[in-house]
Amino acid sequence: MRTLERPFPGTDTALNILAACLLLISFAMLSRRRTQRLVTLLAWQGMVLFVSTLLVAHSSGRVEMYYSAALTLLLKVIVLPLILHYLINRLGAQWDTETLVNIPAVMLAGLVLVIFAFGLAQPVSVLATTITRHTLGIALAVILLSFLMMITRRKAITQVIGFLAMENGLFFAATSTTYGMPMIIELGIALDVLVGVFILGIFFFQIREQFDSLDLHHLEALKED
C-alpha cells in the first residue's frame, strides 16, 4: 500500500482544481433560476466528486475508495439527476423564478459565507494529515452555500436540490479529512438519500394536486389549517 505522506506528483494540484470547480458550481447554482439547470449542475457536482474520489483512491492506495467512487458515479451522476429530471418534467416545474432575496444579494452573502468557511476550517486543516487537507475550507463553503440556496428559494423541489448539494459538500468534507467513511455507512447514506428522494417525489405530486403549485407558503397554510 502506498504511504499517505508521498502522494503522486500533481495530485495536490489536481485536487485543488477539482475543489475550486466544486465551489464554482455551487456559486452557479445560487445564480440559476431554471430548475433543470440546477439539476444539471448537481450532476456536474457529482462528476467532480467522482473524479476527486478516484484521485484520492489512486494516491492513497485504499481499495474501498474505488467502490465509493463507483457508488458516487452511479447515484450522484446518473440515478438522482434522472429521477429529478423526471419529477420536474412531470410536475411542470422547469422554472423557479420566485426567490426570497434577489440574486446579487444572495451572491454577496455567498462570498461572506466562503470567507467564514475558510476561517472556520483553517485550524482543522493545519492538524489534518491527508493530501486533501487544504480543500476542507471549500467543502465547508459548499455546505454553507447549499444551505443558503435552500433558504432563499420558494419552490419545494429546489429545496431537495439544495439538500442534495449539501450532502455532496458533506461527502467532500469526509474525503478531505478522513479519506471517506466506512463503506457500510456510505451505502446506508446512499440508500437513505435515494429513498428520501422517492418519498419527496410522491409528496410533491400530492402538493401539486392539492394546491396546483409547489410554493412553500402552501405548506405554511396547510399547517395553519
Residue extents of the structural domains in the chain: 11-224
pLDDT band at 158 (very low <50, low <70, confident <90, very high): confident
- Cell numbers for 51: 473524479
Q: Please state, in angstroms and rounded to a whole number, the distance separating the CA atoms of residues 48 and 20.
A: 10
How do residues 205-217 score in pLDDT, each as one tens digit?
555 555 555 555 5
Provide the pLDDT for residue 6: 46
Q: Please state, in angstroms and rounded to a whole number, the distance separating the CA atoms of residues 189 and 127.
A: 27
How do residues 29-79 score in pLDDT, each as one tens digit?
988 878 888 889 999 999 999 998 888 888 777 788 888 888 889 888 998
Instruction: Tell me which of 65 and 196 has the higher pLDDT.
Output: 65
Contact 139/130 with Cβ under 8 angstroms?
Answer: no
How do residues 83-126 score in pLDDT, each as one tens digit?
888 888 877 766 655 566 788 888 899 999 999 988 888 777 66
Q: What is the pTM of this model?
A: 0.79
Q: Please state, in angstroms and rounded to a whole number, the distance separating the CA atoms of residues 93 and 125.
A: 41
Instruction: Tell me which of 18 and 178 has the higher pLDDT.
Output: 18
By three-state DSSP, how is residue 212 classified?
A: coil
Number of CB atoms found within 10 A of residue 43's CB? 19
Provide the pLDDT for residue 171: 85
- Cell numbers for 75: 447515484
pLDDT band at 2 (very low <50, low <70, confident <90, very high): very low
Residue partners of 68: CB distance under 8 A and separation at least 6: 53, 57, 180, 183, 186
Please state which of the ranges 93-102, 130-139, 153-162 shows the lowest mean pLDDT: 93-102
- pLDDT greater than 80 at residue 1: no
Cα atoms in the 13 Å half-sphere on the side-chain side of 61: 8
Please state which of the ranges 7-11, 12-16, 140-144 shows the lowest mean pLDDT: 7-11
Among 202, 167, 176, 168, which Cα is nearest to 48's? 168
- pLDDT greater than 90 at residue 25: yes
Q: Taking the C-alpha atoms of 14, 15, 20 and 23 in order, what is their torsion angle to the nearest 10 degrees? A: 150
Q: Please state, in angstroms and rounded to a whole number, the distance separating the CA atoms of residues 133 and 128.
A: 6
